[in-house]
Amino acid sequence: MNSKWKLAMLAGMISIGLAACGDNGENSKEAETENTNQEQTEQTAELEEMQKKLEKQHVEAEKTVAVVNDEDIKGEAYNTLLTQTQLQYQQMGQDPTSEELATQLKESTIDSLIGQTLLLQEADKKGYEATDEEIQKEIDTLKANYEDEAQFEEILKTNGLTIDQLKTEVANNIKYTAFVEKELTIEEVKDEDVKAYYDQYAEQSSGSEESESQIPEYEEVKDQIKQELERQKTQEVLAAKVQELKENASIEIKI
Residues 67-78: pLDDT tens digits?
999 999 999 899
How far is Cα 21 from Cα 23, in angstroms, rounded to an integer?
A: 6
So what's the pLDDT on residue 216? 87
Q: Decide if pLDDT at 19 tops 80.
A: no
Quick one: which of 130, 189, 170 has its CA closest to 7?
170
Asked if the model's pLDDT at residue 7 lies above 80, the reply is no
Q: What is the pLDDT of residues 224-243, one digit of tens each?
A: 999 999 999 999 999 999 99
Q: Residue 122 pLDDT > 60, yes or no?
A: yes
In whole angstroms, give the CA distance from residue 2 to residue 224. Answer: 12
Sheet holding 64-68, edge to edge: 71-74, 64-68, 251-253
Give residue limits of the domains in the chain: 129-183
pLDDT of residue 4: 33
* Amino acid at residue number 202: A
Q: What percent of the chain has pLDDT over 70?
A: 82
